[in-house]
Amino acid sequence: MALRGGTRFAVPFEAVFPHGAVFVPDSIAEAQDFDEKTRMRTPSKDKLTGQRVWQCRVMDMDPELGARSREVSIKILANVQPVPPVGPFQAVEFENLTVTPYVGSNGRLAYSFRATALVAPKTLAESRGKAA
């Protein structure tokens, strides 16, 4: 089976961020597309859903990352700007997280993450209830 470029794979939040993720304050912004012909920027729209695209940054809390970069950019597909948690460096989760692998300009494998919502983390009781 051949995969087409831009194929998105659904992935559980816990598989990408097993130690959680923390929202980087003031990091939500509307994604922009750049048109080479007109040299103008326009708000980005998702090619599959037509929804507006927002970007935010989170820190991966995996202790094995050590001194390496922990920052990850997540694109959120929503018609209105997502509301981040109140307060600096709050834990967050993403609903309907997908990953799109691609080869970056440096020739290395890279990933693009998309989600449909930015939410407060589930409590242990909620997680257990979902599994039951």
**The model's pTM:** 0.83
**Residue 57 to residue 23: CA distance in whole angstroms:** 6
Say if 128 falls within a structural domain: no
Residue 14 maps to which CATH number? 2.40.50
Number of folded domains in the chain?
1
Say if 3 falls within a structural domain: no
Say if 2 falls within a structural domain: no
Q: How many CB atoms lie within 10 A of CB 47?
A: 8
Say if 33 falls within a structural domain: yes
Question: What is the residue-level pLDDT of the chain in tens, covering all 132 positions?
Answer: 455 667 899 999 999 999 999 999 999 999 999 988 999 999 999 999 999 999 999 999 999 988 888 999 999 999 999 998 888 889 999 999 999 998 988 999 999 999 999 999 875 445 545 554
Say if 101 falls within a structural domain: yes
pLDDT at 113: 96
Q: Could you identify the residue written with the tokens 């922990």?
A: 70
Say if 129 falls within a structural domain: no
Say if 132 falls within a structural domain: no
Mark residue 96 as left, alpha or beta (left: phi above 0; alpha: psi -120 to 50; beta: remaining).
left
Domain that includes residue 101, residue range:
10-122
Say if 45 falls within a structural domain: yes
